[in-house]
């Protein structure tokens, strides 16, 4: 631009030079952590809105927070879903099983049994309580951190481990990154590494469900960092325009690998508040409170099923561990964050609630922990018989050219033949034991 004096790029008159704000996280490695700046509303404070209300009426719920469990471990307020103790114990056990599974698979990666793993430690309530509040045949479009939903739906752990180890029993034949499950028969859409693609896909699936006159709704998850992707906004627009029966979840765990939530907009507003701008109902939820997650999901599911429209749920939580096994969070954030996180640990909060009800105790908790660890160990051992990374027993090499086309096109057939020839020239013994070529999946 040329200014009035004809000079390029010079300040005009006495206007201040323009400047940008570059977000910076409050705490870096070694810093003491104080979360007193964080405004966490008390449990039970937020009114419960009618499930059929206008989207804009939910504005207070997008700035406040659905919270049920209070500091004394009681369930309080209008969002208490009033679950019976047996259901609470099942939710608790599923969260504990998810954590035990994560711990064992993390160790498996360190032992070289797989190349990659991602834990959801600290976020178990988000996926597990969400799954319990849905119908079993509602369709889930997850991100990579909702293994708790598969586990809540009783997907066999051994199948999960087979996929993680990319072994000969891996249903996905080693074609997906470890942990990127796909389970059509469990209403669990194929996980994609391309962030946020699942959001518009969920909306499209839910639109199709409505077009067919079906009663199943869809639900999808993105991280708060991924909400900066264009796909998030495309999904929100389609969901609002067609009053789509879908639940759109943003898991705000404060971090997107090494970028903090400020880079996705957290310094300006809540993620839930974006909903109202689109004409979508919004709820911000204490993501470490299983009862709050259950209640918010149930509210959104009832609303969607009654054709009252989509809901955006922000699950406010904390990523207690590294982003993945490839990450080292001590390089960019203070280790004290996890200890100081004001919303506590979701497993312990639900356990203490059950103890306060007289429906649980420390001995039963310890026994449960032993049981879930044994269950995971048995599944991992069974899967190891089908092979682990680098020790043979994977799907044969040539299968990577199969299953896409009913008949392999001539150009791919040529490529396949060439690849197999080159492989045989490079590794003449490649059909011997331990190379995977003898696997049962051949």
Ligand X SMILES: Cc1ncc(C[n+]2csc(CCOP(=O)(O)OP(=O)(O)O)c2C)c(N)n1
Count, residues near Mg ion per rule CB under 5 A: 5
The CA-CA-CA angle for residues 128, 133, 138, to 5°, reads 95
* Partner whose binding site includes residue 234, from Mg ion, ligand X, none (CB under 5 to 8 Å by kind): none
- Tokens 């004809």 belong to residue: 6
- Positions in 219-258 near Mg ion (CB under 5 A): 223-225, 253, 256
Token pair listed for 356: 């306060």
- Positions in 303-342 near ligand X (CB under 6 A): 319, 323
**Contact string 226-245 vs ligand X (x = CB under 6 A):** x-------------------
* Partner whose binding site includes residue 323, from ligand X, Mg ion, none (CB under 5 to 8 Å by kind): ligand X
Q: Which of 296, 314, 273 lies closest to 68, judged by CA? A: 296
- Minimum CB separation of residue 226 from ligand X in Å reads 3
- Minimum CB separation of residue 217 from Mg ion in Å reads 24
Supply the DSSP symbol for 47. P
Residue closest to ligand X when measured from CB atoms: 223
Whether 322 and 333 have beta carbons less than 8 Å apart is answered as no
- Alpha-carbon distance of 126 to 314, in angstroms, equals 10
- Provide the total of helices (H) and of strands (E) in the chain, helices listed first: 13, 7
* Partner whose binding site includes residue 100, from ligand X, Mg ion, none (CB under 5 to 8 Å by kind): none
The two beta strands, 259-260 and 255-256, are antiparallel
Residue closest to Mg ion when measured from CB atoms: 223
Which one among 100, 202, 256, 372 touches ligand X, defined by CB under 6 A?
256
- Residue 219's Cβ-side half-sphere holds a number of Cα atoms within 13 Å equal to 32
* Partner whose binding site includes residue 194, from Mg ion, ligand X, none (CB under 5 to 8 Å by kind): ligand X
- Minimum CB separation of residue 264 from ligand X in Å reads 7
Q: Which residues contact 322 (CB under 8 A, 6 or more apart)?
A: 119, 328, 329
Token pair listed for 321: 């561990």
- Minimum CB separation of residue 230 from ligand X in Å reads 10
- Alpha-carbon distance of 177 to 202, in angstroms, equals 21
> Applying CB under 6 A, which part among 47-55, 129-137, 149-157, 221-229 lies near ligand X?
221-229
Which one among 138, 224, 286, 437 touches ligand X, defined by CB under 6 A?
224
**Which positions touch ligand X (CB under 6 A)?**
145, 193-195, 222-226, 251, 253, 255-257, 319, 323
């Amino acid at each position: 631009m040329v200014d009035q004096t004809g000079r390029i790029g010079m300040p005009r008159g006495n206007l201040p030079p323009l400047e940008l704000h570059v977000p910076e996280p409050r705490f870096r490695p070694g810093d003491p952590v104080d979360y007193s700046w964080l405004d966490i509303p008390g449990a039970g404070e937020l009114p419960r809105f009618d499930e059929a209300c206008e989207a804009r009426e939910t504005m207070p719920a997008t700035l406040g927070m659905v919270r049920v469990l209070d500091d004394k471990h009681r369930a309080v307020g209008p969002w208490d879903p009033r679950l019976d103790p047996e259901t609470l114990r099942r939710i608790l056990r599923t969260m504990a099983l998810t954590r035990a599974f994560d711990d064992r698979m993390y160790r498996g990666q360190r032992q070289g049994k797989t190349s990659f793993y991602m834990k959801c430690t600290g976020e178990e309530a988000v996926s597990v309580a969400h799954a319990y509040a849905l119908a079993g045949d509602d369709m889930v479009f997850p991100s990579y951190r909702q293994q708790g939903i598969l586990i809540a739906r009783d997907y066999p752990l051994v199948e999960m481990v087979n996929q993680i180890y990319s072994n000969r029993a891996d249903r996905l034949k080693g074609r997906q990154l470890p942990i990127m499950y796909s389970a059509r028969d469990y209403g669990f859409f194929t996980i994609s590494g391309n962030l946020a693609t699942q959001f518009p896909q969920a909306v499209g699936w839910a639109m199709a469900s409505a077009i067919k006159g079906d009663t199943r709704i869809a639900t999808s998850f993105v991280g708060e960092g991924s909400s900066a992707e264009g796909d998030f906004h495309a999904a929100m627009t389609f969901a609002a325009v067609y009053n789509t029966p879908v639940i759109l979840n943003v898991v705000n765990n404060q971090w997107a690998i090494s970028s903090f939530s400020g880079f996705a907009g957290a310094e300006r507003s809540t993620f839930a508040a974006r909903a109202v701008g689109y004409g979508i109902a919004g709820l911000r939820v204490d993501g470490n409170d299983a009862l709050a997650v259950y209640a918010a999901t149930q509210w959104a599911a009832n609303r969607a099923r009654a054709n009252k429209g989509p809901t955006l749920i922000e699950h406010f939580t904390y990523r207690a561990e590294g982003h993945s096994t490839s990450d080292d969070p001590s390089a960019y954030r203070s280790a004290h964050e996890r200890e100081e996180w004001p919303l506590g640990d979701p497993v312990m909060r639900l356990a203490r609630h059950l103890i306060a009800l007289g429906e649980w105790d420390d001995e039963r908790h310890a026994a449960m922990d032993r049981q879930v660890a044994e269950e995971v160990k048995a599944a991992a051992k069974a899967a190891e018989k089908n092979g682990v990374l680098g020790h043979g027993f994977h799907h044969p090499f040539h299968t990577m050219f199969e299953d896409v086309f009913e008949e392999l096109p001539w150009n791919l057939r040529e490529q396949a033949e060439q690849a197999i020839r080159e492989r045989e020239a490079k590794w003449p013994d490649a059909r011997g034991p331990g190379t995977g070529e003898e696997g049962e999946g051949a």
